[in-house]
Structure 1
Amino acid sequence: MVFALNNQSPYPCHSLECLGITPDSKVIVVGLGVTGMSVLRYLLKQQLHPMLVDSRANPPGLEELRDNCLELDITTGEHAFDHLDTATHLIVSPGVALTTPEIEAVRQSGIQILSDIDLFAIEAAAPIIAITGSNGKTTVTTLVGNMIAHAGKSVAVGGNIGTPALDLLNAPEPDAYVLELSSFQLENTCHLQPEAAVVLNLSADHLDRYDDFSDYSQAKASIYNDATVIIKNFCEQSLDLNDNCRHHDKKKRYFGITDDQECHFRLEMIDDKEWLVAYDQPLLAVSDILIQGRHNISNALAALALVDAINIHPASAVAVLREFPGLPHRMEMVRDLHEVTWINDSKATNVGACLAALQGINSRIILIAGGDAKAADFSVLSNSINEKVSDMIVLGKDADLLQNTFQTITNMHHVHTIEDAVTLATSLSSSGDTVLLSPACASLDMFKDYQARGDAFKNAVMRLPQ
């Protein structure tokens, strides 16, 4: 097996000076949270004296920050952004929209606006694999990290998953970094130069933050701008790189659920069995992949393409696919009770993820959905719901929107709690059915996060009598 990584950073100075940040710079960190805290830790370690501003009166982590950084200049509340124009550099957390009027004014004035990923990219010397997409990011990021480790190399995994990118720099330099990146992180990043980058898929999401789907797609596609190798979903029609002149000279590799021989990482029928294929070489029968769902076959192919870009042979990497069980809250089988299968897909926080879940199940479905729709268009689910869903149980902020969209094609039921949904689903289901929690919505209207929503569902299911 060949494994040779280029450890030459595109930024040989490995210093904030590459960004024009010196001890005399006035750096303002906008937004606290997990990312903002990591930025402050990093800057303080560089012997800088940043200022923190947050428009919330009491953002998470504020008390800890004040206890540990007594001399840090902190401004919170509705007037926190009033003096952003005094900065030489703004480092904006991903939870803060760049369209915020005060930040837009600073941008127009020419003050440099950066992200935590920019700071990370300047300092990191090891190759970076960058992963985004509407769905599947965490699964693919985890798979790629496991594949690199299986190849006997050190790897650091983080970004939008687990450890913030800048905190990865506190450990010894690995052989490779693997970063999951959201559109919020990418929209304000301009110094990332990954060895390989992928947009796994695109479906309407976060339209409460973006002007339209095109605006959201452009934020995602920016991950490719300075990548050495572009990994593209062969079957994804909503992201056309051919119109972007920056990508003409890039090395491209394609993956997808297709048997088209122009696709480098694809499927092929061999002796009546479906196989994963890389460069015409059969690697693994689909039936030998442990994770379930058609969308996870696509995720597996994407992971193989990404590690191939850093010279890990796919034939070696498939060993991980035999053993990887998947991640919690992503098509997680909770229980098989009275021949009814209960599945927790709470991570399906948008319509694309819900659609993938529905398409991957062959039995009759009782669907539990609802929450904060984030201005999404649910109509794309209509065909799958019409074909597969006998009953739909809705709850949360946008339950009425779901009710109005699907009441003519399936039986609709409105409840107020996840426990009520589980109780009702029990009475509606029969032998051979699948009860699927796949909300197609964010969870914050009712829960701390999608994990809390999924845990509540699992707890309710596990309390059902035998």
Structure 2
Amino acid sequence: MAETYTHTHLQDAPATTQWSWNIVVLGSGESGVGAALLGKQRGYHVFVSDGGKIKDHYKQELIDNGIEFEEGRHTEERILMADEIVKSPGIPEKNEMVKKIRAKEIPIISEIELAYRFKGESKIVAVTGSNGKSTTTSLIYYICQKAGLDCALVGNIGYSFAKQVAENPKPLYVAEISSFQLDDIKDFKADVAVLLNITEDHLDRYDYSFQKYIDSKFKIVQNQHEQDNFIYNLDDEVITNKLKTILLTSNLLPFTMKQEPKKGAYIKGDQMMLKVNEERVSMNIYDFAQTGKHNQYNTMAAGVAAMTMDIRKEKIREAVETFESLEHRMEPVAVVRGVEFINDSKATNINSTWFALESMTKPVILILGGTDKGNDYSILESLVKEKVKTIVCMGVDNTKIHAAFDKIVPIVDTASAHDAVQASFDAAEKGDVVLLSPACASFDLFKNYEDRGKQFKEAVKAL
């Protein structure tokens, strides 16, 4: 029997004029501090608890706003007195404190749920997917800016949604939403929901169950009404198979390269067609600022989202033709003695690297490696054979990369960004591309993918 996804009534939020409602915020990163600020502003009694060290600038914000906090521990008695817990997305369910909260049946919500509770009449465009979220969210935001809409870019990219609602509310929020953020929503509803793709990622957080991860991504549509829009990738079999098992009330707007749907978006030849309601827009794909098939998918999704907001086609066209790539996502760094360097440090899973390689038109020296999340490197095999001259490993343990590619291409082991860049430059010839697209998380050698990308760029500029 098919599940039915319908809107659930937003329960009356606690009174905002009394200090009677106790919330505990677990985690003090961007989303945790944002949730604390919004909770305090709306009259909740807020306590922030972080098992690690709170960064100095976040600590100062809490102090400036008179918000109680602790770091380096979780005081169990205090936390378990809460009426509600706001859990930062980085904290997994297997965390001991989370287990105790669940056992006591204290409601746990995410920061985006708290932000939704107080966003008023504002609209939300929410983007999720395993790959392309940041690019697509940023492109939608860029189109909205070009069209003169008063909006904010929030969520998993940049600014905390809750903090934006607290400090500078807008009539429109364009939000990048991860599966971790969706896990703890109750009433959160996107007016426009975008689902780009679903590939195996973060399975360590979902008991190594791909189905649990799929279900988490689909929470983006669970509260939608008939007047809401769901934009999705019709070429993604995981998505289309899941859609056969659920009943949606929202307006379905697919995008595809393989069919010609009556509404949504498709590419035929060199033309991208957008069709929403009676409006139609046609664009030449060779005019897109973003190249590669993966970016054509992202552009279709963003274009359809823009059309649901009645943005004029001239503005959509102008934005698509002038949008620049994000830092750490297929970011051109430099050309040194005829060798091009590209920073795709944000590629933290196999599929991101597959898309990056698929878009390459020159011979590639590929920098791979980091903290493996259960990668199946065989997915890259045909593209490595076709496009890669040398693999440079940049990680503590490169065993799986060697096992996958030793018989296909030469492999060099390095243990720093500087050494990886030097080894790549040594292996490259004029006309080649050195592509940092690691397919792994960065935590073995770096603070995060941004740190990895910055160190890569610094090493390139030092050549």
TM-score by length of 1: 0.89
Q: Give the aligned residue type for 2:390.
A: D
1:386-419 deviation per Cα after TM superposition (whole angstroms, max 9, x unaligned)? 2221210002133222122221222111112211
Question: 1:52·1:75 contact (CA, 8 Å) conserved in 2?
Answer: yes
Q: Tell me if structure 2 keeps the 8 A contact 1:203–1:351.
A: no
How many residues align? The count is 447
1:347 shift after superposition: 1.0
The structure 2 residue matched to 1:133, chosen from 129, 137, 140, is: 129
- Is the Cα–Cα contact under 8 Å of residues 225 and 246 in structure 1 kept in the other structure? no
CA distance 1:65–1:173, shift in 2 (3 Å): closer
Aligned residues of 2:112 and 2:162 also touching (Cα < 8 A): yes
Q: Which segment is superposed worse, 83-92 or 132-141?
A: 83-92
Contact 1:195 1:310 in 2 (8 A): no
Change (3 A) 1:295 1:81: farther
**Change in CA separation of 1:44 and 1:133 when aligned onto 2, cut-off 3 Å:** same
Structure 2: how far apart are the matches of 1:141 and 1:117? 16
Q: Which residue is equivalent to 1:401?
A: 400
Contact 2:26 2:86 in 1 (8 A): yes
Partner in structure 2 of residue 229 of structure 1:
229
- Residue pair 1:256, 1:263 contacting (<8 A) in 2 also: no
Identify if the C-alpha distance between structure 1 residues 243 and 421 changes in structure 2 by more than 3 Å, giving closer, same or farther: same
Q: Distance in 1 between matches of 2:10 and 2:101?
A: 29
**Structure 1 segment 293-372 matched on structure 2, within 5 A:** 293-372=292-371
Q: Distance in 1 between matches of 2:164 and 2:59?
A: 24
TM superposition shift of 1:64: 2.5
1:12/1:25 Cα in 2 relative to 1: closer, same or farther (>3 Å)?
closer
Alignment partner of 1:47: what SS?
A: coil
More divergent stretch after superposition (436-445 vs 24-33): 24-33
Are 2:254 and 1:257 aligned? no
Which 4+ stretches in 1 moved above 4 angstroms? 9-13
| Superposition deviation, residue 430 in structure 1 | 1.8
C-alpha contact 2:362 2:433 (8 A) present in aligned 1 = yes
Please, which of 210, 215, 219 is the counterpart of residue 212 of structure 2?
Answer: 215
Q: Distance in 1 between matches of 2:437 and 2:172?
A: 34
Matched residue of 2:316: which SS?
helix
> 2:277 matched to 1:276?
no
1:164 to 160, 167, 181: 160
Counterpart-to-counterpart distance in 1, 2:288 and 2:17:
48
Q: Which amino acid aligns with 1:121?
A: Y
Question: For residue 34 of structure 1, what is the amino acid of its counterpart?
Answer: E
Cα distance in 1 between the residues matched to 2:45 and 2:122:
28
CA distance, structure 2, for counterparts of residue 84 and residue 246 of structure 1: 38
Q: Distance in 2 between matches of 1:178 and 1:331?
A: 22
The one-letter code matched in structure 1 to 2:421 is V
Counterpart amino acid of residue 402 in structure 2: Q
AA partner of residue 54 (structure 1): D
Return the letter of the residue paired with 1:118.
E
Deviates most, 165-174 or 249-258:
165-174
User: 1:53, CA displacement in angstroms?
Assistant: 2.0
Q: State percent identity of aligned pairs.
A: 29
Task: Identify if the C-alpha distance between structure 1 residues 246 and 51 changes in structure 2 by more than 3 Å, giving closer, same or farther.
Answer: farther
In the alignment, which residue of structure 1 is the partner of 2:4? Answer: none
Residues 118 and 316 of structure 1, relative CA distance in 2, 3 Å threshold: same
Q: Quick one: which amino acid aligns to residue 343 of structure 2?
A: N
Question: Does the aligned pair in 1 maintain the 2:124–2:172 contact within 8 Å?
Answer: yes
Over 3 Å counting, the alpha-carbon distance change for 1:451 and 1:77 in structure 2 is closer
Task: Give the equivalent residue in structure 1 for 2:140.
Answer: 144
Q: Which residue of 1 aligns with 2:174?
A: 178
1:458 aligned onto 2:457: yes
Instruction: In structure 2, give the amino acid aligned to 1:33.
Output: G
Query: How far off is 1:283 after superposition?
Result: 2.0
Tell me how far 1:260 sits from its aligned partner: 3.4
Cα offset, 1:314, TM superposition: 4.2
**How big is the shift at 1:285?**
0.9
Residue number among 90, 95, 105 corresponding to 1:110 in the alignment:
105
Tell me if structure 2 keeps the 8 A contact 1:149–1:155.
yes
Deviation of 1:286 (Å): 1.1
Give 1:9-24 correspondences, 5 Å limit: 16-17=13-14, 23-24=19-20
Q: What CA distance in whole angstroms lies between the structure 1 residues aligned with 2:59 and 2:115?
A: 26
Amino acid at match of 2:359: G
Q: Please list the CA deviations of residues 278-305 of structure 1 after superposition, one character each: whole Å capped at 9, or x if unmatched.
A: 1394522111111222211111111011
Is the Cα contact below 8 Å between 1:53 and 1:81 reproduced in 2? no
The RMSD of aligned alpha carbons is 2.6
C-alpha distance in 1 between matches for 2:385 and 2:144? 42
**Are residues 246 and 75 of structure 1, via their aligned partners in 2, closer, same or farther at CA, if it must alter by over 3 Å?**
farther
Structure 1 CA distance for aligned equivalents of residues 204 and 396 of structure 2: 14
Instruction: State the TM-score, normalizing by the size of structure 2.
Output: 0.89
Quickly say closer, same or farther: Cα 1:50–1:410, change in 2 above 3 A. Answer: same
Task: Tell me the amino acid that sits aligned with residue 218 of structure 1.
Answer: D
Equivalence map 1:57-76=2 (5 Å): 58-61=53-56, 63-64=59-60, 67-68=63-64, 72-76=67-71
Contact 2:17/2:42, CA 8 A, preserved across alignment? no
Distance 1:22 1:99, change over 3 A: farther
